[in-house]
Amino acid sequence: MDVNKYRALFIEESREHVAEMSRLLVELESSNDRGPLIDEVFRHAHSIKSMAASMGYDPIATLAHRLEDVIGLHRKSGAAFAAPTVDALLRSVDALTQQVQCIADGRQLDGYFELVRTLGALAQVEPPPPPPMPEGEDPFAGLAVVMVRLVAECPAPPLRMFLVHRRLSELGPIAKMAPSLDDVKAGRLKGRELRVAFGSAQQEADVRRVLAQVPDIESVTFEEGGRRAVAVFDEAKPVAETPERLASLATVRVRTDLLDDIMDSIGELFIVRERLRMLLGLDARSPVLSAMDDLGTRIHHLHDQVIAARMMPMRTLTDRYPRLVRDLCRSLGKEVELEIRGRDIEIDRAILDNLDAPFIHLLRNAVDHGIESTAERHACGKSPVGKVTISATRERDHVLVMIEDDGAGIDPVQLRRTAVERGVLTDAQAQALNVRETLYLICLPGFSTKAEVSDISGRGVGMDVVSARIESVGGSLGIESEVGKGTRFIFRLPLTLAIIPVLLVRAAGRVLALPVAKVVTLREANDEILTQADGGRFLSFRQGLHPVLSLAELLGLPKPPAPETFVAVVEAGLELFALGVDAVVGYHEVVLKPLGDPLENLECYAGVTILGDGQPILILDLSKIVRLRTAA
C-alpha cells in the first residue's frame, strides 16, 4: 500500500488537529468545566497518533502517545491543569507542528526526546512490571488442554489471546488458562502460546471450527496434561485484489485554488456577457436581450454559489488568537483576557486571508501598548486583568468586526505632536484636525509614537499596512479611542470580493468607477441643494454641511473649467464626503480585478475592471482619496 498518496491528507488533517489542541489547551487552563474539553483534546491527540502510526511516522506517534498519556491521566483524576503542565503540553503541540512541517518539507523527523521524557514524567508512566516466572509443576496435569500458538507477526498478541479465550469460552466454561486471563488482560505474556483447559469435555471438531474463525493462529494442538498430540492447520493466504467502488460522501474537500480558478472563470463569463450585450445593442424588445438577462441571472447565481463554497467562519482566524494572546501575556508579564464573539460569522475566504495579519498586528498592539501593566491598571482603578474583545456581527450586506481593548487609549495630543515633529504636518495643519482625523494619523506609513521595532509588535507591519489590506478587499477601517478608557478598531468588510456594482462617473475627461456600496446618494449639483461660501460650494446633507470636493482635483487631474454638475455623497472610513463629478455615465456590475505591480502602488485605486467594450476602468479607493485631502 502506497502511503505517500495519503501524505497530503495526513499533513492537512494533522494541522487541523494541532490547531484545535492549541486552542483547547489555552481554554482548559482557565476553564472550570474541564471534562468535555479534556475529552476533545484527547481525541485530537489520539487521531494524530493513529494517523502517524499508520504512516510509519513513529516519532510523531510517540509524542502524540505521550500527550495522550498526560491528558488521559487528568481525564481520570479530573485534576486541574497546572501552568507548567499546560506549558509542556503546548510545547508538545508546537513540536508536533514542527514535525508535520518536516514531513511536508521532506526533512528528517526530530524525536524531541527531552520533551517525550518530560511528558512521560508528567504522565507518571511506569514501565510494566516484568512478568512473573512460574517454575515447577504443570498446572494442567490430568486435563485436556488446547494449545494455541499465535503466528510470529501477530499484532497485539494479548488481544488475540483474549479473543481466543472468548471464543473458546462460548463453547463451554474454561477451567484453567496459561497465561492467566489477568495476565492476558495486563499484557503480561511469555511468548505466543496460550493453553486452555475446559471445565467440561469438548469435541475437537467444535474447537477447531471455532478457532478457524480466528486469524493469526499458527497452530492448534491438543494435549493431555503432559502428552502432546500434534495437529496443525495452515493459515489461509489472503486473496489479492482489484479495483474499485467508492460510496459518495456528503462533503468533499476542495482545494481553495480550484475555487479561485472557478471564480475567475465566472468573472470572465460575466465579461463575455457584457460584451455580447454591447454588441447586441439596446433594443429592449429583442428576445435575445431577455435571454441575455437570463444568462446574467444564471451567472450571478453561479457566482453566489461559489461564494457560498468559499465562505468560511471567522473562527478559522480567531481560534488561534487565544494562544497568541496567552503567549504574549506570558512574555510581557501582562494579564489580558481575550473574548471572541461571532466566531461563526461567515465571510469570503479571499477576504479572510487578508484579515489575519491586520488582526494579529492589532492584537499585539493591544497587549503590548494598549493594555497597561497590572500595577498601572491598579493605580487607575481598573481591574488588574485587561480585556480585549474581538467581535464579528453580520449586517445586511457586510460584516462588522471590532477589536477593542480597555487599555490606555490613544492620545490625540501626543499624535499631533509626533506628526509635527516628524514633519508630516505643519503645526497649523495638526491643530486643524479633529479627534477622528487625528486618530487616522496612525495609518500613515512609518508613524508610531513608540518604538514598534520590538520583537513583539512592529517588524514593519504598521497600521498603514493594516489599513491598506482592509481597503484592498473593499473594506473600511474606523478608529475610536479615549485616553484612559481604551481603543476600538472597527472593520467594515464586504461579504465577498469579485463582482461588485459600481457607478461610472466622468471627471476631467476620464471615466472612473465608484463602488456603489460606498455611494450614499447622488444629486444634481444645482443651487437648490448647494450653498456658496468661502469660495467653495457646500452640500447640506443629513444635518451636516459638507464641502464639495472636486474628484478631478483630488486625483491630481486638471480641474475642469465649468463647475461639476453632479455630487456624489460617499462613505470613506466612517465619514461622509461630497465629491463633485462632471457626469454620471451609468451603473454597472463589474468584476474587480486587483492591479498588479507596479500599478498597485498608485494610492487611490482599489482595482481595475474591464467593461464589455474592452475599456479598462479604474475603480476608486475612496478612503485613500479622501485621506489624501486630509494630509494635503
Partner 1 sequence: MTKTRVLIVDDAIFMRNMIKDIFNDDQYEIVGEAANGVEAVEKYKELKPDLITMDIVMPFKSGIEATREILSFDKSALIVMCSALGQESLVMEAIEAGAADFVVKPFKPEDVQRVVQKALSSRAQPK
Question: Which residue ranges make up the site for partner 1 (CB under 8 A)?
Answer: 1, 6, 9-10, 13, 40, 42-43, 46-47, 49-51, 53-56, 65, 68, 155-156, 158-159, 162-163, 166, 185, 187, 209, 212-216, 235-236, 238-239, 241-247, 249, 253
Helices (H), 215-353: 256-280, 287-310, 315-318, 321-332, 349-353
Phi/psi class of residue 446: alpha, beta or left (left: φ > 0; alpha: ψ in -120 to 50)? left
Helix (H) or strand (E) holding 233: none
Least distance to partner 1, CB of residue 63, Å: 13
Instruction: Indicate the residue among 21 and 366 with the shorter CB distance to partner 1.
Output: 21
All three cell numbers of 222, joined, read 491438543
User: CA-to-CA distance for 64 and 58, rounded, in angstroms?
Assistant: 10
User: CA-to-CA distance for 204 and 173, rounded, in angstroms?
Assistant: 15
Instruction: Indicate the residue among 168 and 495 with the shorter CB distance to partner 1.
Output: 168
Instruction: Indicate the residue among 51 and 591 with the shorter CB distance to partner 1.
Output: 51
Least distance to partner 1, CB of residue 104, Å: 15
Instruction: Indicate the residue among 136 and 238 with the shorter CB distance to partner 1.
Output: 238
Instruction: Indicate the residue among 29 and 68 with the shorter CB distance to partner 1.
Output: 68
Least distance to partner 1, CB of residue 220, Å: 14
Q: What share of the chain is helix, strand, coil (3-state, %, to 5)?
A: 45, 25, 35
Closest-CA residue to 275 (of 299, 248, 259, 243): 299
Least distance to partner 1, CB of residue 12, Å: 9
Strand 536-541 to strand 530-533: parallel, antiparallel, or no bridges (unpaired)? antiparallel
Least distance to partner 1, CB of residue 55, Å: 8
**Mutual orientation of helices 83-105 and 58-77 as an angle, nearest 10°?**
160
Least distance to partner 1, CB of residue 199, Å: 19
Closest-CA residue to 333 (of 389, 382, 371, 388): 371
Residue type present at position 125? V
SS3 label, residue 276: helix
Closest-CA residue to 153 (of 232, 239, 235): 235
Least distance to partner 1, CB of residue 1, Å: 6
Instruction: Indicate the residue among 55 and 592 with the shorter CB distance to partner 1.
Output: 55
All three cell numbers of 346, joined, read 461567515
Q: What DSSP string describes 400-460?
A: EEEEEE-SS---HHHHHHHHHHTTSS-HHHHHH--HHHHHHGGGSTT--SS-TTSSSS-TT
Least distance to partner 1, CB of residue 250, Å: 9
186 neighbors 132 (Cβ within 8 angstroms): no
**Vertex 605: Cα angle to 603 and 608 (nearest 5):** 145
Least distance to partner 1, CB of residue 393, Å: 29
515 neighbors 498 (Cβ within 8 angstroms): no
Instruction: Indicate the residue among 163 and 628 with the shorter CB distance to partner 1.
Output: 163
Least distance to partner 1, CB of residue 114, Å: 22
Instruction: Indicate the residue among 43 and 273 with the shorter CB distance to partner 1.
Output: 43
Instruction: Indicate the residue among 185 and 341 with the shorter CB distance to partner 1.
Output: 185
In Å, the largest CA–CA distance within the chain is 121
Instruction: Indicate the residue among 3 and 82 with the shorter CB distance to partner 1.
Output: 3
**Vertex 505: Cα angle to 502 and 506 (nearest 5):** 155
All three cell numbers of 71, joined, read 491528558
Least distance to partner 1, CB of residue 47, Å: 5
Sequence-separated (6 or more) residues with CB below 8 Å from residue 224 = 143, 144, 145
Quick one: how many helices (H) and strands (E) in the chain? 21, 23
Instruction: Indicate the residue among 244 and 528 with the shorter CB distance to partner 1.
Output: 244
Least distance to partner 1, CB of residue 239, Å: 7
Least distance to partner 1, CB of residue 119, Å: 14
Instruction: Indicate the residue among 40 and 437 with the shorter CB distance to partner 1.
Output: 40
Instruction: Indicate the residue among 187 and 547 with the shorter CB distance to partner 1.
Output: 187
Instruction: Indicate the residue among 56 and 381 with the shorter CB distance to partner 1.
Output: 56
Give the chain's radius of gyration (CA, Å): 35
| C-alpha count within 13 angstroms, C-beta hemisphere, residue 337 | 9
Least distance to partner 1, CB of residue 75, Å: 12
193-198 β-sheet, strand order: 174-178, 193-198, 144-150, 217-224, 227-229
